Amino acid sequence: MTVSRGVILVPFGADTNSLYKSVLGITVGTPQSEVWDRLGKPADRQAVGRQIAWDYPAEVEPVCASALDYIVFFIGPDHRVASIRLGMHG
């Protein structure tokens, strides 16, 4: 997995279930500053309850028909990753 121009590139055939646990070494508990250092500024940030959702565009590489649009890191009040979710279209 790599990042190019602010887009997380997921290798074709990668186990998408593993993305809920780790993306480029970012896991639950990773400080938000480390997420910013590795991925740069998120494409969008929005409050969700007591957490902030940081959205990063994502696509499967090589580019193919994929439902994956975003990888979302939820940042908790302790300024650490509380969960990782995938933004997908139908």
Whether 82 shows a pLDDT value over 80: the answer reads: yes
Q: Domain total for the chain?
A: 1
Full domain range(s) for residue 56: 2-88
What are the DSSP E strand ranges found in 1-90? 2-4, 7-11, 22-23, 26-27, 44-48, 51-61, 68-75, 81-88
Average pLDDT in the 22-46 region?
96
Give the CATH number, domain containing residue 20.
Answer: 3.30.1450
Name which residue leads in pLDDT, 12 or 43.
43
pLDDT digits (tens, 9 = 90+) for 35-59: 999 999 999 999 999 999 999 999 8
Residue with tokens 């121009």: 5
Q: What is the pTM of this model?
A: 0.91
